Amino acid sequence: MIKIGIDYYPEHWDKSMWQEDIRQMAALGIHTVRIAEFAWGRMEPEEGRFDFGWLDEAVDMIARAGMKVILGTPTNSGPVWLYTDHPDTLQWDRTGKPTDFGIRGHRCLVSPTFRRYAGRIVEELAKRYAGRPEVFAWQLDNEMESNHCTCPACTRAFRDYLQKKYGTLERLNRAWGSDVWSGQISHWDQIKPLLSPDCSPNWFNPAYMLDYERFCAASTADYVRFQCGIIRRYDPEAVITTNSCFGANLPDFHQEFAPLNVAAYDNYPPLVLPKDPEALYSNAFALDFIRSFKQRNFWILEQLGGPMGCWSPITPAMEPGMLEGYALQAVAHGADLLSFFRWRTSISGAEMFCHGILDHSNQPNRRLRELAHLCRRLEAIPDLDQTTLNSQVAMLYSAEQEFALKNSTQSKGFAYWTQMRLLHDACMNLGVNVDILPEGHSLDGYKVVLIPTHFITNPEVVRQAEAFAAAGGTVVLTNRSGVKDQNGNCILGQSLPGAFRTLCGCSVQEYDAIGEANQRLRTIHGETHSITSWCDILELEGAKAWATYEGRFYQGSPAITRNRYGKGYAYYLGTVGEKGLYRTLLTEVFREQGVDMLEMLPQGVEVTARSGSGGTYRFYFNNTTARKIFRINGESIALAPFEMKIKQGEGQWL
């Protein structure tokens, strides 16, 4: 059964309220209650003095009501005494100064002092709760970003990381191309985190910055292993996860989740949909991305439960159907647990207008009724958790590409994520499941592989792509691929797309970084589409033009190519287009590969399928504010805004 959970903060409320809160949760059909991830100050009010009595009571009440606990380690926000008595536990910002301890997430993951105190509170929790039947799972810390800290401990650790990687300064300088701007490093102590607030990252040596991003991601992954190790000493069978989010400093999620049992995400889809029809707003991409962390179904540890208001002004109210529709969108993409944030809206603190299921009035409301309906609906599909997504299409992702492109802007408006999302959006609008794979993952069983902006050349990916196409598959590669080597330096002496040139049967003669300007192209079928950001001017070397540019000095030059390679094909997209271009292109690609798709879906309707021993289910989600009516296989389907309809097999609607 798909499990429904609630995020609850008993330490925020008088004990007289706990029993009734828990009774109401159980009556709704809630399975899990997520607690304690910010409660270090209550657990250890003074250094070395622990108080778990209140937590014992809360856990016991939840267990007696027939629910289980997802227990958080409270290390995201330490108590005030930790930071005032031990200032070396604070993270340092881009100015090279400690952050204010009044906010959350202000700890340094590398600091030996912080590790000592964080390890101690985690161990106290593990000794007390590990192995207990009431504990369904453990959540480590909270929404960990890549550890971008400039403190002395991180500076030393960064130098150690580089010494282990390169061994000598000669090798480091050669890898970094340090002769540019007299950037030669002559002593290890000259190396420091490059995070000046006064300069764009583009001013710094990209190879230097790439290694710094790699170090930060490795630091975060090491912190996860550190906490995992403590819990597993007391319970080797513990189910451990953490809640991911997409902040400013993305970690390498595949590294971060490697030691964990299940991937998890904090799911906050938009409450106001953009008016621009070209906007990429759907959280479908994020949900498929989370599934990629472990290549299996995942959990949502914070599911949107009400209007937001902390990091921004208070948002408008949730539309009718939005709470249930967004939750089922997550299920459609592989979520097996949904924990709603939060049971009741806080009456104090920075998040007091970050609304939960209940408002400050503490009275039943529309969101509570919608949650109750969702609980009943999922309860009626008990075997849904015995299914998953089976995909014929894969997309490759690498944190390396994100790191490199973030610190080496290619043109105004150009982004790695945009190209991934454009390809993914087209798949969703054709009812095609997509697996997002880490580079190097097996491609067996797929018919089409999408490779967006492979900026840092991975020879294994080149080899796999060639073998995949030669065996009969189709590869779709986009612009700015094959540009750099694995140190982050441009490759001398070969035309782009570099190592992919033979596969694609074309070469880039010149490129035009058009930024936010708009131009047009024309496909071989006579359709025209708007393009932006980037234009590769291509020369055919065996490939055929699938689309050509209109306008500028390269009018008529190939913009998109199609090349026969072995038994399969390779497409190369030299530009960035509007959503319709990707739908048109992928429709043709999927037809020639026999990928199952639904060509007549209205824009904004997403169709996803889950199957397995629990049956086969197809999810039809209207991710728009307008009613949608369409026909599939002769059957008329009507969807209200944000409505999700589920069809079991070929027959029953659920």
**Would you name the residues annotated as active-site residues?**
143, 302
CA–CA distance, 222 with 144 (Å, rounded to integer): 12
Per the CB < 8 A criterion, the answer to whether 375 and 4 are in contact is yes
Paired with 647 in beta bridges are 618, 653
Long-range contact list for 626-632, CB < 8 A, 24+ apart?
A: 628/602, 628/604, 630/600, 630/601, 630/602, 630/605, 631/600, 632/598, 632/600
- For residue 253 the two structure tokens come to 């999620």
Decide the pairing of beta strands 135-139 and 387-388.
Answer: unpaired
Using DSSP, state whether 475 is helix, strand or coil. Answer: strand
Write the single-letter amino acid at 626. A
Give, in order, the Cα–Cα distances in Å from 115 to each of 121, 138, 159, 163.
10, 18, 19, 23
CA–CA distance, 552 with 550 (Å, rounded to integer): 7
- For residue 108 the two structure tokens come to 């340094």
Write the single-letter amino acid at 297. N
Which stretches of 335-420 are assigned E, i.e. beta strand? 335-341, 387-388, 393-397
- For residue 181 the two structure tokens come to 């701007």
Using DSSP, state whether 434 is helix, strand or coil. Answer: strand
What phi-psi label fits residue 211: left (phi over 0), alpha (psi between -120 and 50 degrees) or beta? alpha
CA–CA distance, 592 with 590 (Å, rounded to integer): 6
Query: Pick from 358, 366, 360: which is nearest to 25 by CA?
Result: 358
Which residues contact residue 541 at a Cβ distance below 8 angstroms, ignoring those fewer than 6 apart?
A: 501, 505, 506, 507
CA–CA distance, 490 with 494 (Å, rounded to integer): 10
Using DSSP, state whether 199 is helix, strand or coil. Answer: coil
CA–CA distance, 52 with 11 (Å, rounded to integer): 11
Per the CB < 8 A criterion, the answer to whether 63 and 134 are in contact is yes
Decide the pairing of beta strands 448-451 and 393-397.
Answer: parallel
Write the single-letter amino acid at 53. G
CA–CA distance, 526 with 529 (Å, rounded to integer): 10
What are the φ/ψ torsions at residue 590 (nearest 5 degrees)? -70, -35
Residues making up the chain, counted from first to last: 654
CA–CA distance, 86 with 349 (Å, rounded to integer): 24
